[in-house]
């Protein structure tokens, strides 16, 4: 199996953007190409969850390839709901590690902010089980059911959950690519409107526009992808084996650790899918970075802060960097690459030799874990 | 009223969603009935519903004797984790109502 390196990374600012989705794709793609020093690739993997419904655009892989002047490179679109960006990396990784390609681009984006909230809720709810959708359940409602049970089982207070948002907004305040670049207080979280109890507005990742891209190569570089794992689970919450843990992550992380030869003790920095604040705790525990029920303590004692022993979501996470759904899984990797290359500016962590990203698709029905190492 | 559930005769995997074969061991599932009585595992009230639904929407995740089920509730003021509920059917949906010793006629009026 050939080694796979990251040779270039690019990302637009996430947030409410006036540019079209294609313009965002082109911006991110050109940045990644320039960073890599290459102007041609063998294949493009395009990640986008729902361009047809969000912007009315189809055949997006061909369109992006043409707009980036990368014809006649092969092009394919990848989609696994909110883990789409991570899925695109996984496919790109396989194409190089198999020896089929030498150089590929992974690019992912979404354009969402021009749509009304109830329309976005409807589109995002299409990824959940039809039987649960018939009841009017949405992604925030299902996340709220999981969150309330998690908080009850591990005796996690409202204030503790708020501190996840406080940490990630602080990190995002140092990130010029983030949707929200200002700090908040715990009171801000607790006094914001309730989306689906107990989750408030500031517990939920925002609706964002944005795109990001990587160039992966077989040629040696400073950052190598050493492990990738994927796992799936039942669509319906009713069929899950746990309400405090996601099997899809547990399977994905074991595959990634096995491939990389690494263990949780080796990980020095992590980007964890925090579309809803309690999910950061669940993700930290499912990836075995912390024992079940103990991620909150690590949050409160500063272990997961940028200056802590194991920084989690130094980018601001989905919560504050923003969540253009198809792009988030790739944006996590872009952040880790920048951290590993010492290019993270004010939010630069001290040690980023081994990094882990965990991405959730749907309500944890199609999850990915990626492990990177600085060479 | 009973709640239809699907049970694997081999490994015991149980679901309230109609399933032909067990997803864990591939055995043909058997249709069974579960009591409508259960215990609240979690609950939420959604204030921003999807298109086609009125706000607010309360949901309850209920552990039945066999399996788990997500239901609606008319309100969330009485809900607590561990609380006892009975499921009633309204149209195609199940609703959770309190079951802690309330007489059936009372639940019919206020459920």
CATH of the domain at A101: 3.40.47.10
Q: Is A325 exposed, middle or buried (0-12, 13-18, 19+ CB in 10 A)?
A: buried
Q: Is A229 exposed, middle or buried (0-12, 13-18, 19+ CB in 10 A)?
A: buried
pLDDT tier, B103 (very low <50, low <70, confident <90, very high otherwise): very low
pLDDT at B101: 52
CA distance A332 to A302: 21
Residue A76 lies in a domain: yes
Residue A266 lies in a domain: no
How is residue A281 written in tokens? 């705790």
Indicate the pairing of strand A103-110 with strand A43-47. Answer: parallel
pLDDT tier, B111 (very low <50, low <70, confident <90, very high otherwise): very low
The answer to whether B57 faces chain A, any CB pair under 8 Å, is yes
Of A131, A145, A197, the CB nearest to B61: A145
How is residue A14 written in tokens? 């996430």
pLDDT at B100: 64
Range of the domain at A104: 4-115+212-217
Determine, for residues A136 and B69 on separate chains, whether the beta-carbon distance falls below 8 Å: no
pLDDT at B107: 46
CA distance B97 to A98: 56
The C-alpha angle A135, B26, A230, rounded to 5 degrees, equals: 70
pLDDT at B110: 41
CA distance A71 to A41: 9
- Helix A277-286, helix A247-260: angle, nearest 10: 50
- Residue of A127, A141, A156, A236 to mutate for B, most B C-beta atoms under 10 A: A141
Spell out a b/e string for A249-266, using b for 16 or more CB atoms within 10 Å of the CB, else e. bbbbbebbbebbebebee
Question: What residues contact residue A100 under an 8 Å CB cut-off, 6+ apart?
Answer: none
What phi and psi, each to the nearest 5 degrees, are found at residue A26?
-65, -40
Chain B nearest-CA distance from A309, in A, is: 34
Question: What residues contact residue A130 under an 8 Å CB cut-off, 6+ apart?
Answer: none
CA distance B49 to B66: 29
Question: What residues contact residue B105 under an 8 Å CB cut-off, 6+ apart?
Answer: none
CA distance A105 to A121: 30
How is residue A214 written in tokens? 């990587």
CA distance A148 to A128: 19
DSSP A340: H
Strand, coil or helix: A72: coil
What phi and psi, each to the nearest 5 degrees, are found at residue A11?
-160, 140
- Residue of B29, B42, B58 to mutate for A, most A C-beta atoms under 10 A: B42
How is residue A112 written in tokens? 């969402």
- Identify residues of A whose CB sits under 8 angstroms from chain B CBs: 117-119, 121-122, 125, 129, 131-138, 140-141, 144-146, 148-149, 152, 193-199, 234, 236-240, 243
How is residue B88 written in tokens? 């009633």
pLDDT digits (tens, 9 = 90+) for B12-69: 999 999 989 998 999 999 999 999 999 999 999 999 988 889 888 999 999 998 889 9
Would the pLDDT of B102 be above 90? no
SS3 content of chain B, % helix, strand, coil (to 5): 5, 45, 50
pTM: 0.95
SS3 content of chain A, % helix, strand, coil (to 5): 40, 20, 40
DSSP A355: E
Per-residue pLDDT of chain A (375 residues; tens, 9 = 90+): 899 999 999 999 999 999 999 999 999 999 999 999 999 999 999 999 999 999 999 999 999 999 999 999 999 999 999 999 999 999 999 999 999 999 999 999 999 999 998 889 889 889 999 999 999 999 999 999 999 999 999 999 999 999 999 999 999 999 999 999 999 999 999 999 999 999 999 999 999 999 999 999 999 999 999 999 999 999 999 999 999 999 999 999 999 999 999 999 999 999 999 999 999 999 999 999 999 999 999 999 999 999 999 999 999 999 999 999 999 999 999 999 999 999 999 999 999 999 999 999 999 999 999 999 998
Chain A nearest-CA distance from B92, in A, is: 9
Residues of B in contact with A241 (CB under 8 A): none
Residue A349 lies in a domain: no
CA distances A251 to A225, A230, B3, B58, Å, are 18, 7, 32, 32
Chain A nearest-CA distance from B100, in A, is: 21
- Report whether CATH 3.30.1360.120 matches the domain B35-111: no
pLDDT digits (tens, 9 = 90+) for A45-97: 999 999 999 999 999 999 999 999 999 999 999 999 999 999 999 999 999 99
Residue A353 lies in a domain: no
What phi and psi, each to the nearest 5 degrees, are found at residue A217?
-140, 165
Determine, for residues A135 and B59 on separate chains, whether the beta-carbon distance falls below 8 Å: yes
Residue A152 lies in a domain: no
In chain A, the percentage of residues whose pLDDT exceeds 90 is 97
pLDDT digits (tens, 9 = 90+) for B54-91: 888 999 999 998 889 999 999 999 999 999 999 999 99
CB B3 within 8 A of CB B35: yes
CB interface of B with A, residues 73-92, below 8 Å: 76, 81, 92
- Residue of B70, B71, B81, B90 to mutate for A, most A C-beta atoms under 10 A: B70
CA distance A370 to A225: 7
CB interface of B with A, residues 18-47, below 8 Å: 23, 41-47
Distance, first Cα to last Cα, chain B: 15
The answer to whether B99 faces chain A, any CB pair under 8 Å, is no
Query: ipTM score here?
Result: 0.93
**Domain count within chain A:** 1
What phi and psi, each to the nearest 5 degrees, are found at residue A284?
-60, -35
Q: In what order do the strands lie in the sheet with B14-15?
A: B14-15, B3-7, B30-34
CB A46 within 8 A of CB A64: yes
């Amino acid at each position: 199996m050939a080694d796979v390196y990251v040779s270039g990374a690019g990302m637009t600012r996430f947030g409410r953007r006036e540019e079209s989705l294609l313009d965002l794709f082109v911006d991110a793609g050109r940045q990644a190409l320039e960073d890599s020093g290459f102007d041609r690739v063998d294949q493009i993997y395009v990640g986008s969850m729902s361009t047809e419904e969000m912007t009315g655009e189809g055949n997006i892989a061909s369109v992006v390839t043409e707009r980036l002047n990368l014809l006649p490179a092969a092009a394919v679109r990848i989609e696994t709901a909110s883990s789409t960006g991570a899925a695109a990396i996984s496919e790109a990784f396989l194409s190089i590690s198999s020896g089929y390609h030498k150089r590929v681009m992974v690019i992912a984006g979404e354009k969402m902010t021009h749509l009304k909230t109830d329309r976005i809720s409807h589109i995002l709810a299409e990824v959940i089980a039809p039987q649960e959708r018939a009841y009017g359940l949405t992604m925030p409602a299902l996340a709220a059911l999981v969150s309330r049970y998690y908080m009850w089982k591990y005796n996690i207070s409202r204030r503790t959950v708020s501190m996840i948002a406080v940490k990630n907004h602080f990190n995002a305040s140092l990130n010029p690519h983030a949707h929200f670049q200002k700090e908040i207080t715990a009171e801000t979280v607790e006094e914001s409107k309730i989306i689906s109890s107990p989750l408030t507005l500031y517990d939920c990742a925002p609706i964002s526009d944005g795109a990001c891209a990587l160039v992966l190569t077989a040629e040696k570089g400073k950052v190598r992808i050493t492990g990738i794992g994927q796992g799936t689970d039942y669509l319906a919450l009713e069929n899950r084996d746990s309400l405090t843990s996601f099997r899809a992550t547990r399977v994905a992380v074991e595959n990634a650790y096995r491939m990389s030869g690494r263990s949780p003790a080796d990980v020095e920095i992590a980007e964890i899918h925090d579309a809803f604040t309690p999910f950061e705790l669940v993700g930290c525990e499912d990836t075995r970075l912390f024992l079940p029920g103990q991620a909150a303590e690590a949050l409160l004692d500063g272990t997961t802060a940028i200056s802590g022993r194991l920084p989690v979501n130094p980018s601001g996470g989905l919560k504050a960097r923003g969540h253009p759904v198809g792009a988030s899984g790739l944006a996590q990797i872009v952040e880790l690459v920048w951290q590993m290359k010492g290019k993270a500016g004010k939010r630069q962590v001290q040690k980023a030799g081994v990094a882990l990203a965990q991405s959730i698709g749907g309500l944890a029905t199609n999850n990915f874990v990626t492990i990177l190492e600085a060479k | 009223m009973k709640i239809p559930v699907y049970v694997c005769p081999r490994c015991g995997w149980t679901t309230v969603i109609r399933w032909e074969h067990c997803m864990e061991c591939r055995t043909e599932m058997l249709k069974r009935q579960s009591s409508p009585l259960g215990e609240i595992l979690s609950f939420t009230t959604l204030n921003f519903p999807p298109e086609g639904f009125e706000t607010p929407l309360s949901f309850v995740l209920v552990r039945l004797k066999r399996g788990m089920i997500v239901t609606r509730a008319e309100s969330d003021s009485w809900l607590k984790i561990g609380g006892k509920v009975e499921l009633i059917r309204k149209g195609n949906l199940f609703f959770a109502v309190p079951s802690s010793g309330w007489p059936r006629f009372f639940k019919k009026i206020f459920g």
